[in-house]
Amino acid sequence: MLFNRWFRIVVVVISLVFLHHNIFAAALNTKSQQYAALEAVLAELEVHYGMERFKEREFAITINGLRKKYRRLIRTATTLEEDAGFEAKKERKILSPRQMQLLLVGLAAELRDGHTNISTKSVNIATLGIHSAAIDGKLYVTGFSENLYSGQAVVTEVKVGDEIVSINGVPVQELAKRNLLYVQDGTYAAREQAALEMTITIPYALLPEVKEGDVATLVFRRAQQGEFEGKFNWIEAADFIQLRSMFPNEFPNPSEGAEFDNGHFVFGRSGYVRSYFREGLKNLPPGSISDVGLQFNAELEAAAKEPKRRKGEMILQPTQRIPAYIIHYKGKNIGVIRIPSYSPNEIMNEYMWVLNVLNRMNYSTDMLVIDQLGNSGGSVFLVMKWLGLFASGRPLTTVSTDTKISETLLEMHQQGLLASQGRDRRGPHRYSDLRMNARELAFMREHYDSGNVWTGLRGDMGSYISHEEGEAGQMYPDEFATYDKPILLINDSRSASGGDFFPAMMQHNHRAVIMGETSKGLGGPVYRSVDSMPGSEVSMRCTSGYCERPNGLPVENRGAVPDIFRGVTPYDLLDEFRSYSYSVLEAGLALLKGTALEEIQNMVKTNGFSQMQSFGVSYRAPKEVIEGFQGLSLSVATIEEGPVEARVPALMEIYKVSTEGILAHVPESGISAETWELFIYPLPSELVNSDLFLPGLWRKGEVLERLNDMLKLKRYEKWHPLINVILEQSQRLPGNIRFADPCERLLLNL
Fold of 124-246: Pdz3 Domain (2.30.42)
CA atoms within 13 A on the CB side of 490: 27
Please name the residues in contact with 14: beta carbons below 8 A apart, sequence gap of 6 or more: none
pLDDT of residue 180: 96
The per-residue b/e assignment along 222-249, b for 16 or more CB within 10 angstroms, e otherwise, is bbeeeebebebebbbbebebbebeeeee
703 band by pLDDT with thresholds 50, 70 and 90: confident
Sequence spans of domains, the chain: 2-117, 124-246, 618-749
Contact present, 173 and 219 (Cβ < 8 Å): no
437 band by pLDDT with thresholds 50, 70 and 90: confident
Please name the residues in contact with 175: beta carbons below 8 A apart, sequence gap of 6 or more: 167, 199
pLDDT of residue 163: 95
Quick: pLDDT tens for 293-345.
Answer: 999 999 999 888 876 666 556 689 999 999 999 999 999 999 999 999 998 88
Q: How many CB atoms lie within 10 A of CB 117?
A: 22
> For residues 9 and 507, what is the distance between their CA atoms, to the nearest angstrom?
41
pLDDT of residue 43: 96
pLDDT of residue 224: 79
Angle at which helices 431-449 and 407-420 cross, to 10° = 160
What integer is the mean pLDDT of 373-384? 92
Q: For residue 326, give Cα distances in angstroms to 360, 582, 598, 715.
A: 11, 15, 27, 51
With 0-12 / 13-18 / 19 or more C-beta atoms within 10 angstroms meaning exposed / middle / buried, residue 160 is middle
**Which comes out higher in pLDDT, residue 309 or 22?**
309
Would you call 385 helix, strand, or coil by DSSP?
helix
The structure's pTM equals: 0.88
Kindly report which listed range (70-74, 307-311, 441-445) carries the lowest average pLDDT score.
Answer: 307-311
673 band by pLDDT with thresholds 50, 70 and 90: very low
What integer is the mean pLDDT of 137-150? 85
> For residues 341 and 322, what is the distance between their CA atoms, to the nearest angstrom?
9
Rank 461-465, 484-488, 534-538 by mean pLDDT and report only the highest.
484-488
Quick: pLDDT tens for 343-366.
Answer: 888 889 999 999 999 999 999 999
